[in-house]
Amino acid sequence: MSAHPKDTAPAALDRREFLKASALAGGGLVIGISLAGCGKPADLAKAAGGQPVAWLKIGGDNSITILVDKSEMGQGVYTALPMLIAEELDVPLAAVKVVAAPAGAAYANIFLGTQITGGSTSVREGWQKLRAAGAQARAMLLGAAADEWKVDVGSLKTDAGVVTGPNGQKRTFGELAEAAAKRPLPKDAKPKDASAYKLVGKATPRVDTPSKLDGSAEFGIDVKLPGMKYAALAQSPVLGGKLKSVDSAAAEKLPGVVKVVTTSTGVAVVADHYWQAHVARDALKLSWDEGPNAKLDSAAIRAGLKAAKGTAQSARKDGDAAKALKAAKKKVEASYELPLLAHATMEPMNCTAVVTADRCELYVPTQIQQIAQATAAAAAGLKPEQVSVTTTLLGGGFGRRLEVDFIPAAVEAAKAVGAPVKLIWTREDDMTHDAYRPPAHDSGSAGFDASGALQAVHIQLTSPSVTARMFPPVVEKAVDPFAVEAAANFLYDVPNVSVDYLRHEIGINVGYWRSVSHSLNCFVVESFMDECAHAAGKDPFEFRRALLGKQPRAKRVLEEAAARAGWGKAPAGHHQGIAVMEGYGTYLAQVAEISVEQGKLKVHRIFCAVDCGQRVNPLIVDQQLTGGMVFGLSAALWGEITLAGGKVQQKNFDEYRVVRMNQMPELGVHVLDSSEAPGGIGEPAVALVAPAIANAWFAATGKRVRALPFSASGIA
């Protein structure tokens, strides 16, 4: 998902009674954030489960705790978000303890309206609320010291959790916390000026690294509870099918089997140990009502998208592209096809649940806590406030864990057996029951005038909508914003631009997949602009650059990428392609360098130039950029989920190939220094890889690849 700060809630932050302070039992300071827009300031004191709603706690024992309301899935939030607090408090990062926040409305993502780790929003959101919380806490602590010593606040200094007065007086934050908590919230506490940063902007080692080197990091699949049982789940092989009947007699006789439970999403076999459940699952005799998808296959999905008719929604309209296209002296037209993709997180879906008469505890690797909570509540027959959600580390998210489809069976099985149950999907379960990246059939039309100037571009997008299923109110009156990214914000200076989106559902669930519709639309727009460049007889870099006069940040990254990757200077036999985008408030350009080896594509290097505004932790920014490029490369080369008879045909990593060590090209990244507000970094680099390579392939062969993955064209 993309969320643009300029479009959404943060602008309203100033108008809200945003921060709240209160005393911590035992003498400390709690800074919480109350979304007054939700009308529930009382949320501050108590959330579901009686936990205080807080972001920041400073204890009388000098402890500093931040409740991180974003899930750590490798993108570094347990490091980058505490850095924002540590910066404002003038304490070392190591002094800030990280605790995963519970589920609660007060932890809603201020860009997205519910508690979500997604949309590359974590740092952008923390930039606003966590710096504000840190600045407030600091002002209150200093105020308490100033009162005690009867000195001016301006005469105080802070360092490493100690306030020092003009005469050398010293108080630790812990000593001041109780008095600070009794003070009114300062109205004018402003976050630090960039010139005073000690931590922000410095490459800082991740705090989660040590636990990821010795097996001690706890992912959802590692949760251990006393008396815990394990479950394997049999789901309809045809997507959307329903259970007709189950004969569990043979399975129930197998060693360790505790119970076979028919749940709302399949048949769960609960056993003392996981492998026993897994083996017994294979002994179930199952019969399925295959439902409406019994004959669904990929050819039908492709044909349906291509032939889709209906009223398209306008996502962008500058001038009159239709009229300008009619008047054009030269036209370029092309269509593009994109496949379904699986998320394939390394950690398969899993969930651990405990259900009693009036409580449910959920231990789950999730990106969407409140919806997980509501889903578990419905499955347990409880109210959401009776469900606690403990977010574990996530072994990859990529949007897959915005889905909650793996939760009900765990809850229902736990309720049925009266013991904690950990439900684990196999890799095959995971790959064949994903909410896949939407497929698309898109097209572009462009018109040049007699002088060779590009006068009109029309982009027509056709795909199913994730948002219509997950957040229906968002699309009630507006085009799905998460279907038209990288197209609605068409960067190039063309007088007549139209972007239209036609929603066409395909019968199976589609889901948000890292970089969401950027991964579709960057391929379309940047392939098409490349086609336009060649049609105009221009160098693809120069053609783009000439059209980016009004987009200085995009123009600069394009120029940096070209200069640093040696555009036009590829070694003999190597060929280059270029692509540029804006997404999540970040500007990127990539240059791919390839060769053709016996008719096949070989990617030698990909270089990415980036302007993501102020970096909080450059080390993590680089990780996300290179990691995103690898993710995009896997999808570009081989990524494709196909269906036959309503069943997904790829079951494991042999059939759904991803890039391995020996297939890695050289990756280069250059991030520009910038004082703009941070842009998102977890997703965008994914989206440019395919068009950069496709454009390089055209440069090498004169053949345009208009369908992904490249393997479908026999070249990868």
Q: How far apart are CA 221 and CA 228, in angstroms?
A: 12
Taking contact as CB under 8 A, which single stretch among the options 30-38, 396-404, 458-466, 522-530 is the one that binds other proteins?
396-404
Does 344 participate in binding other proteins (rule CB under 8 A)?
Answer: yes
Beta-carbon-side half-sphere exposure of residue 148 (alpha carbons within 13 Å): 23
Q: 59-96: string of b/e by CB count within 10 Å (b at 16+)?
A: bbebbbbbbbbbbbbbbbbbbbbbbbbbbbbbbebebb
Minimum CB–partner distance for residue 152 and other proteins (Å): 42
158-166, 284-292, 626-634, 640-648 -> range binding other proteins (CB under 8 A): 626-634
What dihedral angle (degrees, nearest 10) is formed by the CA atoms of 263, 266, 268, 269? 140
Position 528 contacts other proteins (CB under 8 A): no
Q: Least distance from C-beta 268 to other proteins, angstroms?
A: 17
Pick the binder of other proteins from 667, 699, 700, 705 (CB under 8 A): 667
Restricting to residues 682-711, name those near other proteins by CB under 8 A.
none
Q: Which stretch binds other proteins (CB under 8 A): 10-18, 324-332, 411-419, 628-636?
A: 628-636
Q: Which one of 73, 140, 179, 641 is in contact with other proteins (CB under 8 A)?
A: 73
Which of 115-123, 241-249, 476-484, 657-665 is the region at the interface with other proteins (rule: CB under 8 A)? 657-665
Let me know: does 163 contact 180? Beta carbons within 8 Å. Answer: no
User: Using CB under 8 A, which of 147, 208, 320, 505 touches other proteins?
Assistant: 208
User: Residue 322's closest CA among 142, 458, 501?
Assistant: 458
Residues of this chain, 261-290, that bind other proteins according to CB under 8 A: 273-276
x/- track of binding to other proteins for residues 209-248 (CB under 8 A): xxxxxxxxxxx-xx-x-----x------------------
Query: What is the distance between the alpha carbons of residues 487 and 508, in angstroms, rounded to a whole number?
Result: 25
Do 689 and 526 form a contact (C-beta atoms < 8 A)? no
- Gyration radius of the chain's alpha carbons: 27
Closest C-alpha to 133, from 81, 208, 199: 81
Residue among 630, 648, 693, 700 that touches other proteins (CB under 8 A): 630
Asked if 515 interacts with other proteins (CB under 8 A), we say: no
Shortest spacing between CB 218 and other proteins, in angstroms: 8
DSSP code at position 291: G
For residue 116, give both structure tokens.
Answer: 């979500």
For the CB of residue 420, give the shortest distance to other proteins in the complex, in Å: 13
Residues sharing a CB contact under 8 Å with residue 83, sequence separation 6 or more, in sequence order: 93, 199, 200, 204, 616, 617
Using CB under 8 A, count the residues that bind other proteins: 60
266, exposed or middle or buried, with CB in 10 Å at 0-12, 13-18, 19+?
A: buried
Q: What distance in Å separates the CA atoms of residue 58 and residue 93, rounded to the nearest whole number?
A: 14
Residue 597 binds to other proteins (criterion: CB under 8 A): no
Query: Which region among 20-28, 475-483, 587-595, 623-631 touches other proteins (by CB under 8 A)?
Result: 623-631
Can you tell me which of 11, 99, 346, 478 binds other proteins, judged by CB under 8 A? 346
Is residue 348 near other proteins by the rule CB under 8 A?
yes
Return left, alpha or beta for 568; rule: phi > 0 is left, psi -120 to 50 is alpha, else beta: left
Distance in Å, CB of 165 to other proteins, minimum: 39
Kindly tell me which of 173 and 436 has the beta carbon lying closer to other proteins: 436
Structure tokens that stand for 629 in this block: 């490029």
Which stretches of the chain bind other proteins, using CB under 8 A? 73-76, 205-206, 208-219, 221-222, 224, 230, 255, 273-276, 344-348, 393-398, 424, 426-428, 619, 623, 626-631, 652-654, 658-662, 664, 667
